């Protein structure tokens, strides 16, 4: 079986790894909307359940598809972090921020690393550490600037257009 046709079983159904990642990505967009409509407690329930599923799913993901699955895990973890932060649950928020950061670094994803670093700076600011918050915000900005330079080069060479399209799609869902 190819990587895209490797089956993941859950409940009474089986899906390809690609389908599972796509489904979980679409679910993430819906959960972000749930937060806007129903509040963080409601959205956190779904995010937490999906994080459990993703964590169980990750060991089964073939090597070639792993970066996309790990990036999705980092997105969910970052969402859990800010939902906990919205609920004034700083310890849980910090834990999920650290997990999101670890996953982003695992796949060397500078955009997710920048975003998680920025979120971490917000957590430091609200916990009374403004100097650390500014340092982390500056680090996040450096990540973004470095990535923008790389994306500009890639676009000029027409090499990474699928990644650019996925990134822009994810940004639209987060806004």
Across residues 48-65, what is the average pLDDT?
Answer: 92
Across residues 15-29, what is the average pLDDT?
Answer: 87
May I ask the CATH class of domain 14-174? Answer: mainly alpha
106-121 pLDDT tens trace? 999 888 988 898 888 8
Rounded Cα distance between 38 and 18, Å, is 30
Q: Kindly compute the dihedral angle of the four CA atoms of residues 64, 80, 144, 141, in this order, to the nearest 10 degrees.
A: -150
CA angle 88, 57, 86 (to 5 degrees): 10
Bridge partners of 10, per DSSP, are: 13
Give the total residue count for the chain.
175
Band of residue 102 on the pLDDT scale cut at 50, 70, 90: very high
Residue 88 is predicted with a pLDDT of 93
pLDDT reading at 96 higher than 50: yes
Least confident of 13-27, 54-68, 112-126, 150-164: 150-164
CB 50 within 8 A of CB 75: no
Bridge partners of 9, per DSSP, are: 14
Residue 38 is predicted with a pLDDT of 93
pTM for this one?
0.74
The Cβ of residue 149 has, within 10 Å, a number of other Cβ atoms equal to 10
Residue 1 is predicted with a pLDDT of 44
pLDDT reading at 159 higher than 70: no
Which of the listed ranges 107-116, 140-149, 153-162 does the model predict with the highest average pLDDT? 107-116
Residue 67 is predicted with a pLDDT of 94
CB 20 within 8 A of CB 57: yes
């Amino acid at each position: 079986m190819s990587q895209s046709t490797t089956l993941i079983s859950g409940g009474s159904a089986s899906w390809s790894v690609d389908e599972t990642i796509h489904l979980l990505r679409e679910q993430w967009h819906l959960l972000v909307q749930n937060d806007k409509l129903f509040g963080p407690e409601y959205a956190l329930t779904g995010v937490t359940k999906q994080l459990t599923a993703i964590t169980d799913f990750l060991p089964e993901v073939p090597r070639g598809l792993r970066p996309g699955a790990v990036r999705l895990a980092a997105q969910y973890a970052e969402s859990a972090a800010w939902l906990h932060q919205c609920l004034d649950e700083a310890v849980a928020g910090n834990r999920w921020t650290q997990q999101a950061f670890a996953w982003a670094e695992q796949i060397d994803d500078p955009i997710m690393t920048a975003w998680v670093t920025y979120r971490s700076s917000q957590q430091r600011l609200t916990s009374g550490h403004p100097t650390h918050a500014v340092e982390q915000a500056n680090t996040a900005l450096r990540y973004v600037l470095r990535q923008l330079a790389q994306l500009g080069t890639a676009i000029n060479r027409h090499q990474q257009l699928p990644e650019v399209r996925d990134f822009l799609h994810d940004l639209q869902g987060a806004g």
